[in-house]
Amino acid sequence: MQTIRENSFIKHEIKDILMADAALILAFSMDFAIHSSGGYLHNLLLFLPISALAVSLSFILHELMHKFVAQHYGAIAGFRTSITGLLVTLATGAFGFLLGIPGATMIYTNTFTKRQNGIVSLAGPLTNFAVFGAFLAVDVIFGSSLGPYLQSAIGFTFFISIFLAFFNMLPIYPLDGSKVLAWNKEIYIATMGLIFILLVFFAGVSLIEIVYLIIIALFFSMFFRAGRMF
């Protein structure tokens, strides 16, 4: 019976994270299509594979790392979607002002120390560093031989990986940054400093986009605190 329950939980979690991933892929693609010159449908179909690569690597690996590190410390952890969050993600993507809040990894434990909670929270953004570093290496080694489409895919993966790291490291509950900051201020400052450098100098994110990310984080926090997301 225990094995049956565990298998059911895993299947449910896989379905949830794939639904969230698909919603983000489509939302980013619709947002891109709206803000790009040319035909909407052409831009949407052009960007879908790029969005699928960047979002899947940056988002799924981020959430899975939270889960695995939490389980290492003995917690029960699993990704759960939010119907409200999925609808908000798709609707805002369709209108060109994306709020990507399809769900989150839920962690259940009564035994975490601040250090353990901080490490679990930091694991996700550090995974985004790894994705960024891998694609930076590909760009440095093969960049001159890649065509414009592949270069666009690499550039967008840069953007999404650091976009997600910055968003999650904002010191706003329940985001990762609030727990890392509560655990170790020096590690928080060092991590955010590195993210900011990568965000501005490698991913090319503007001040307006940074403010936009902060607004998204506040919106996410509002929904979470109101108990409407999970």
Q: By the 8 A CB rule, do 158 and 136 touch?
A: yes
Encoding tokens for residue 103?
């769900």
Distance in angstroms (rounded) separating the CA atoms of residues 18 and 14: 6
Phi/psi of residue 81, nearest 5 degrees: -85, 165
Residue 105's DSSP bridge partners are: 79
Q: Does 63 participate in catalysis according to the annotation?
A: yes
Which residue among 6, 13, 63, 209 is the active-site one? 63
Rounded to 10°, the helix 114-142/176-183 angle is 120
CB 90 within 8 A of CB 210: no
- Catalytic residue numbers read 63
